[in-house]
Chain A
Amino acid sequence: MSDEIKIKVSNLNFYYGKMQALKNINIDIMDKKITALIGPSGCGKSTLIRIFNRMCDLVIGAKAEGSVIFDGENILNSSIDIVKLRQKIGMVFQKPNPFPKTIFQNIAYGLEINGCKDKSFIKFKVEETLKKAALWEDVKDRLNDSALGLSGGQQQRLCIARALAVEAQVILFDEPCASLDPISTAKIEELILELQNNYAIIIVTHNMQQASRVSDYTAFMYLGDLIEFGSTNQIFTVPKNPKTEEYLSGKFG
């Protein structure tokens, strides 16, 4: 068990235009651990994880201050190679969003845009990542069918496989089960637990049971502040901050 810090966030402030969405956030994301982000709607969970892969850049007028150290570099620097960053830090969205292409092409896409032309390597990678995402048995006979024909849960696992194929080290999940049924949700959770052996994982969730089931660490956010961060065990049993306790006991949110 390593206790290595994968992403170190220090004094992070984030603004959408004039609106400050994150206020002086300090948090360490551990490698090979699962960190859950919880908090009421609009508290800035999505904003925080979208900073990790710089998807926040897409919003006009967005501005980040402070430091987010990943691989020895501050990824907030404008000089950072965003393509490399986004390959190392993959993202899985709330709604499964496979491309309207075949299952095979969905996985191959990330390799191809990076200039990989080696057909046999791509084939190998597709199989490898589909196995890692526990999807291979479901789809091995229909790799050339449209990915849109898969069930919601299968689509979401395909999206996870897609992120794994480009050699991600960190995977960001933004409410990955929000649109899934309980069985698909269980499968995704199982997969996330499996993946933590090799990846640092951050998962945003509104489902407290889910957070307590899968995560090692939990961060509670409220109105752009990081209220409390600690081991999931501690947060759920003996929260230090009264706000955390109120939220966990369902008093607001």
Chain B
Amino acid sequence: MKNKIIQQFFFSLITISALITALFLLIIIFFIFKNGFNAISWEFITSVPKNGMTAGGVSPAIIGSFCLVAAAILFSLPLGLACAVYLQEYSPKNYIVDIVKTGVSNLASVPSVVFGLFGLAVFVKFFGFGVSILSGGLTLAILVLPNIITTSQEALSAVPYSFREASLALGATQWQTIRKVVLPAALPGILTGIILSIGRAAGETAPIMFTAAVFYKKGRPDSIMSEVMALPYHIYALMTEGVNPEKQTVIAYGCALILLVLVAVLSSLAVFIRNKYRSSYER
């Protein structure tokens, strides 16, 4: 009897904790919606800022964020995937593997502002790429690299060994096996990683602060060497600069809402793909 009560108590506690967590999320979503919803309009999404950022839209920031994220994925995907394949499929048991593994997990815990400083020193200054999509994209690429590597590695290791065995026993080389059997089977998992990385890259401010983003830029970026506006940085700018905080705050919440919806859509997509992938292996 006593044990039953204790169990009841702790179960309730656990349930409440879970609910509180969900509640936080709901509250955040509610507030962003409440404050940002009025700002959203077709014009807001498609036109440029006006009157010193107190009116008009945020389209350059949306386009800029899109370019940065695209560049980040373009750079990090081949590198991250190659690294995951090396670690999961080829890695001989030697010290290089340990170094790479330690490197990857440490990279994941570096604060994002440090990546920003690194990008400034290396891409902007040392390589002379300047404040540009290229510099920002590369910096974001390093930021999401551990993410891509870890999720890809998990996806690869989830591919049953028996598939590899079957392929090798048919005379396929290890490379053919990886390319034609293992990678296709791991693709949904890898896609999940990419999608989550997109969400992460889209939302970060610090890494692009010194490397790619500017307060205001009219028109579209014309090359990968252009500086751009970006949604998260635009929020930061609206809240810290300018002359009309009231009007700017509304626009900032509008931007936040766009970001939130974007990330939510991407995450759901990732979950959807992952679930579909799980069921495809059930026998």
Contacts and interface: CB of A to CB of B under 8 A. Distances in A.
Interface stretch (A86-94, A117-125, A136-144, A189-197): A86-94
- Nearest 8 CB-CB pairings of A with B: A97-B162, A86-B171, A83-B171, A110-B170, A91-B169, A87-B171, A113-B172, A97-B166
B162 A86 contact: no
A166 B171 contact: yes
Contacts of B93: 60
B31 interface: no
Interface residues of B, number: 21
B3 interface: no
A113 B171 CA distance: 8
A84 B162 contact: no
Nearest to A94: B162
A53 B169 contact: yes
B114 to A, nearest CB: 39
Interface residues on A, range: 20 to 34
B165 interface: yes
B281 A100 contact: yes
A159 B171 CA distance: 14
B280 interface: yes
Contacts of B163: 97, 99-100
A90 B167 contact: no
A3 B228 CA distance: 79
A112 to B, nearest CB: 8
A113 B180 CA distance: 9
A175 B283 CA distance: 19
Contacts of A53: 169
A157 interface: no
Interface of A: 53, 55, 58, 60, 82-87, 90-91, 93, 95, 97-101, 109-110, 112-114, 146, 148, 152, 159, 162-163, 166
A72 B162 CA distance: 31
B283 A148 contact: yes
Given A113-B176, A148-B283, A90 B162 contact: no
Contacts of B283: 148, 152
Nearest to B185: A100
A97 B165 contact: yes
B165 A163 contact: no
B244 interface: no
Given A55-B169, A83-B172, A90-B170, 15 more contacts: A53-B169, A58-B168, A82-B171, A93-B162, A93-B165, A95-B162, A97-B160, A97-B166, A99-B163, A101-B184, A110-B172, A112-B180, A148-B281, A163-B169, A166-B171
B181 interface: yes
A125 to B, nearest CB: 13
26 contacts: A82-B171, A84-B171, A86-B168, A86-B169, A87-B171, A90-B169, A95-B162, A97-B160, A97-B163, A98-B166, A99-B163, A99-B181, A99-B185, A100-B185, A100-B280, A109-B167, A109-B172, A110-B170, A110-B171, A113-B167, A113-B170, A113-B173, A113-B176, A148-B280, A148-B281, A163-B170
Contacts of A163: 169-170
Given A99-B181, A100-B280, A93 B166 contact: yes
Contacts of A86: 168-171
